[in-house]
Structure 1
Amino acid sequence: MNLDALLKVFQTAHQRAVAYQRPVIAVSSHPAPTLEALALYEAHRQGFFWRTHSPDLTLFGLGCAWQIEASGPQRMLDVDRQWFALCADAVIDGPKAPLLLGGMRFDEQRPCAPHWAAFADASFQLAHWLLSEDANGRWLRCQRVVEPDSDPATLARESLAAYEQLLNPPASATAAPDVIERNALPSHQWQAKVDTALQAIRRCDLNKVVLARHIEYQLDAALNSGAVMQRLHARRNASHLFALHRGEHCFMGATPERLLSCQEGRLTTHALAGSARRGITADEDHAIGERLLADPKEQYEHQLVVQTITQALNGKVSDLQAASCPGLLKLATVQHLSTPIAAQLNPDKRLLDGIQALHPTPAVGGLPRATAMSFIRRHEGFDRGWYAAPVGWLDSKGNGDFLVALRSALITPQHCHLFAGCGIVHGSWPADEYEETQIKLASMEHALLLFPRRSKT
């Protein structure tokens, strides 16, 4: 990494910042064929890690050069406004545009639990150094925000120092912690909540509501998020991987669900609802999948999600296309009904308009949306935080990708919080729904290597 090259970019950005009297983003990108994102994340255990497929993209971001936070019901649109105002006069050296990473709370109306305090209603960061791996190779970009009173030489020296830290992470060896205690709502109490939901559905107050579970582990030491991510990555299944750090807190997961992606104005998403376990043998797995495809209750739940996604995008897109029938998305412990959906974003709309319209989908909230959210607030009994909410990235050109943060865990210095839920519709059985959450929880529990000494469940 060349000091003179960075200095030149920062000087140009500084000239614009002085002329316009506002902050200006400066980005310098260079090929980095020898760097590997997962290895860097495993070593640093900080910043942001991301791995998605269709298309394949891996990101590792370290350091925070700028942060955008917003709150309230219009938080995503506020982020959009702040981001594109900041990008208006960006100085870009190389082929890579500025890229912002972050996410939001599932429900900004719910009081924030103490363990979620580090994660704002909506919080996005511009990584100081960002490594990307895709079909075009590996690229490293330096991203800074230059103010009118910034000193370009100081910024360049600071960036080179941060680059050296990126390449030389601190040595740290941590053993897997032991579980002191596991706390979860007893199964009969959670199933009683499902009964309450079914009563509301029978009264026609709701068509569907998603109820989640929260498992809290008390640990004797901190979990190693890098080792957890390595285990999730080694499975090589259809899940997308993410990890977002805020101080000593890390929210991470292996989710099957993409909320919305935008590439040159083309939106892609998929409806994901209806679940069954994986089989032990190939024949058993195939039979379970065929039963899932033929199950009227699961098909009904799935079609609710397809219909709601297409309706929510109405007025924001054209040329919307959805597959006529769902296929199967097979993960490590569970398989889902999945329907691909694609559309062309209208010229006056952006990706975050779509995110604002879609969240929460019926796959994580319910229908009707407002009634389901009210039911969740009254009956679920805990703060979801960023669980089941959008996490992702967007760049200065309007491209981006957001996942639904499912199969996830919040890691704090001596605790770990796990979350999993399922959709309750007419025909649901409380015991079956509880078993479905157990299957979904197993994926992260195995990766976290959490083995309780004693349990309160």
Structure 2
Amino acid sequence: MSSVSQSPVSLDQSLSAGTPGAVRDAGGGCRDTPPLHGAVETLLSRIKNWSFRSDHLLHLSVPVPRTNPFRWLQGAPAGERSLWQNREGDESIAGVGIAVELSAQDSAAYPDLLRRAHDILDGQATAFIGGFSFAGLPGRDDWEGFPAARFVLPAIELRRQAGQYRLGVNLLAGSRRDFMTRKTRLIAALCRLRQTVTDDPSRASVHITRRVDHMDFDTCSRHIGNILTHISQGPIRKVVLARRVDLQLNEPLPAFLTLERWHRSNQGSFCFAIENGERLFMGCPPERLFSRSGHHVFTESLAGTVRRGATAQEDASLEHMLLQDPKLIHEHELVTRYVREQIAPWITRIEGPAQVGIFKQDRIQHRYLPIHATLRDGVRDDQLLAALHPTPAVCGFPRGEARDLINRQETAHRGWYSGVIGMICPQRSEFAVAIRSTLLHRNQALCYSGVGIVEGSDPEEEWNELEAKIESFLAVLES
């Protein structure tokens, strides 16, 4: 049975248990650390006058000076932090605590979840942050506690848009008693709000003590051989093989400081973090699933991969190969054809450049083709999600047959890796494919990478690509 659950407000208990950074003064205000002091005081004075409105979202935000969202989150209590930053780098939302949590236990409940999120927002200038699993099922093993889908509306948010920063709060209650409880907790959380402004502290003490590869080269070669056999027999034309590497660390990572460095080395990528208790899923994915604004949808075809060159000359040579190699062209064309066919029922017009571009990251580069389409009236996010996810770039083609083979062959549970991550705003939403990501749990980092297998794939080249795709995160840890 499908269901969407909505959890009550949940601020980490440490928010109301004496977290250092601010203290209440005799007048009931709060002495906070600049530069957020004025904003916090303004929010407090106005929140105190809020009145109960059943199931109506109360939202308020005020301008603040430029504030680093990564370091702000690193200084916040752990357990309920969240972050989303778009690929252009001009919009981000960082959240502390949870005003509303929506979850679904299977993909059949996605439409209700997305509809409920839009109903709650009701035009307010805030956003849900969350995502969907790869397989449309709840997580197990290391992904325990992650449902098939989960979106959170932060209790306290730091938002950046068009160069402007705002500190905001959200509150939703179904009864007068709940309203008073949540209002009290929100005030306590604001009074203890603090901003981390120091540079990367004690970073050098974190290092890898053990590495466990869930798939070695020989096993990878056997899997690729099996996939190629299926491809030669039809109808499968592409299957994405995923690999997991477990890193044991001497101590827990400062997650958001690490994410900041990771994103800095992958400019032009999305950036996200979703914390669920002791587990935190974060990454810097390059690929947009879709971005919808009104009647316009932006998506893309991104596939075919080679490494970056050590010199400008070598990099240009590899880029030429990326554009000319028949195997890479074929792999990218499968994705392009798939995206266009999948969105065709939902659009009235489609546009896109004729020439393929190159999307470069620090260690690898991809073939890239943006696609812009005009939607038919009434098309919803869940319809676009069902049409596009999972893409051939993370699953294969045809989708059903490729997914069945993945389920039979892969031993490591993907969870939310190669799922979807993004944000939902009024009249707008944006989702990325959750690759180039890692799951943190205490002293452990689970790293994932995937590679597309098509006719002509060479096991050694594919193995090197799998390794290259996690090198950027390894480099952050080892720097």
TM-score, with length taken from structure 1: 0.89
Long gaps (5+) in structure 2 = 1-39
Asked if 1:85 is matched to 2:119, the reply is yes
Query: Using the alignment, how far apart are the partners of 1:302 and 1:70 within structure 2?
Result: 32
Tell me the CA shift for residue 72 of structure 1: 1.7
Q: Which range is displaced more, 219-228 or 380-389?
A: 219-228
CA change 1:7–1:357 in 2 (3 A) is farther
Aligned partner of 2:73 in structure 1 is: 41
Aligned partner of 1:429 in structure 2 is: 458
Q: Which range is displaced more, 272-281 or 180-189?
A: 180-189
Q: Which range is displaced more, 149-158 or 369-378?
A: 149-158
Q: Secondary structure at the match of 1:401?
A: strand
Aligned partner of 1:58 in structure 2 is: 92
Decide which of 303, 306, 311 is 2:333's aligned counterpart: 303
CA change 1:220–1:100 in 2 (3 A) is same
Query: Using the alignment, how far apart are the partners of 2:421 and 2:322 within structure 1?
Result: 29
Query: Using the alignment, how far apart are the partners of 2:379 and 2:469 within structure 1?
Result: 35
Aligned partner of 2:153 in structure 1 is: 126
Asked whether the 8 Å contact 1:265–1:399 carries over to 2, the reply is no
Asked whether the 8 Å contact 2:71–2:195 carries over to 1, the reply is no
Aligned partner of 2:172 in structure 1 is: 145
Query: Using the alignment, how far apart are the partners of 2:202 and 2:231 within structure 1?
Result: 51
1:128-155 C-alpha deviation (Å, 9 max, x unpaired) = 0111112151112211112232465554
Query: Using the alignment, how far apart are the partners of 1:177 and 1:298 within structure 2?
Result: 36
Q: Secondary structure at the match of 1:102?
A: strand
Asked if 1:29 is matched to 2:61, the reply is yes
Tell me the CA shift for residue 314 of structure 1: 1.7
Correspondence 1:228-377 to 2 at 5 A? 228-235=258-265, 237-377=267-407
Asked whether the 8 Å contact 2:335–2:391 carries over to 1, the reply is yes
Asked whether the 8 Å contact 1:43–1:169 carries over to 2, the reply is yes
**Letter of the structure 2 residue corresponding to residue 439 of structure 1:** A
Q: Secondary structure at the match of 2:154?
A: strand
CA change 1:68–1:153 in 2 (3 A) is closer
Query: Using the alignment, how far apart are the partners of 2:443 and 2:81 within structure 1?
Result: 19
Aligned partner of 2:224 in structure 1 is: 194
Q: What RMSD over aligned residues (CA atoms) do the two structures have, in Å?
A: 2.2
CA change 1:253–1:57 in 2 (3 A) is same
CA change 1:424–1:299 in 2 (3 A) is same
Aligned partner of 2:29 in structure 1 is: none
Decide which of 427, 432, 438 is 1:403's aligned counterpart: 432
CA change 1:277–1:67 in 2 (3 A) is same
Tell me the CA shift for residue 117 of structure 1: 0.6
Tell me the CA shift for residue 343 of structure 1: 1.2
Correspondence 1:13-24 to 2 at 5 A? 14-15=52-53, 17=54, 23-24=55-56
Asked if 1:5 is matched to 2:82, the reply is no
CA change 1:374–1:55 in 2 (3 A) is same
Long gaps (5+) in structure 1 = 18-22, 451-457
**Letter of the structure 1 residue corresponding to residue 117 of structure 2:** W
Tell me the CA shift for residue 207 of structure 1: 0.7
Query: Using the alignment, how far apart are the partners of 1:236 and 1:407 within structure 2?
Result: 10
1:65-98 C-alpha deviation (Å, 9 max, x unpaired) = 111001223232121122233345x7x5xxxx23
**Letter of the structure 2 residue corresponding to residue 219 of structure 1:** L
Q: Secondary structure at the match of 2:284?
A: strand
Q: Which range is displaced more, 330-339 or 342-351?
A: 342-351
**Letter of the structure 2 residue corresponding to residue 69 of structure 1:** S
**Letter of the structure 1 residue corresponding to residue 58 of structure 2:** A
Q: Which range is displaced more, 233-242 or 328-337?
A: 233-242
Tell me the CA shift for residue 352 of structure 1: 3.2
Q: Secondary structure at the match of 1:141?
A: strand
Query: Using the alignment, how far apart are the partners of 1:323 and 1:352 within structure 2?
Result: 27
1:325-352 C-alpha deviation (Å, 9 max, x unpaired) = 3110010000000000111232211233
Tell me the percent identity: 28
Tell me the CA shift for residue 384 of structure 1: 0.4
Asked if 1:108 is matched to 2:136, the reply is yes
CA change 1:385–1:57 in 2 (3 A) is same
Tell me the CA shift for residue 180 of structure 1: 3.2
CA change 1:170–1:331 in 2 (3 A) is closer
1:268-298 C-alpha deviation (Å, 9 max, x unpaired) = 1211100001011111111110111011111
CA change 1:290–1:159 in 2 (3 A) is same
Asked whether the 8 Å contact 2:93–2:160 carries over to 1, the reply is yes
Asked whether the 8 Å contact 2:84–2:423 carries over to 1, the reply is no
Asked whether the 8 Å contact 2:242–2:410 carries over to 1, the reply is yes
Q: Secondary structure at the match of 1:411?
A: strand
Query: Using the alignment, how far apart are the partners of 2:471 and 2:360 within structure 1?
Result: 15
Asked whether the 8 Å contact 1:351–1:399 carries over to 2, the reply is no
Query: Using the alignment, how far apart are the partners of 1:137 and 1:148 within structure 2?
Result: 35
Tell me the CA shift for residue 195 of structure 1: 0.6
Q: Which range is displaced more, 306-315 or 271-280?
A: 306-315
Q: Secondary structure at the match of 1:384?
A: coil
Asked whether the 8 Å contact 2:266–2:284 carries over to 1, the reply is no
Tell me the CA shift for residue 315 of structure 1: 2.0
**Letter of the structure 2 residue corresponding to residue 138 of structure 1:** Y
**Letter of the structure 2 residue corresponding to residue 100 of structure 1:** F
Asked whether the 8 Å contact 2:278–2:442 carries over to 1, the reply is yes
Asked if 1:117 is matched to 2:144, the reply is yes
Aligned partner of 2:107 in structure 1 is: 73
Asked whether the 8 Å contact 1:180–1:220 carries over to 2, the reply is no
Asked whether the 8 Å contact 2:266–2:361 carries over to 1, the reply is no
Asked whether the 8 Å contact 1:76–1:356 carries over to 2, the reply is no
Asked whether the 8 Å contact 1:253–1:444 carries over to 2, the reply is no
Correspondence 1:209-228 to 2 at 5 A? 209-228=239-258
Tell me the CA shift for residue 169 of structure 1: 6.6
Asked whether the 8 Å contact 1:210–1:422 carries over to 2, the reply is yes
Tell me the CA shift for residue 54 of structure 1: 3.0
CA change 1:178–1:255 in 2 (3 A) is same
Asked whether the 8 Å contact 2:244–2:446 carries over to 1, the reply is yes
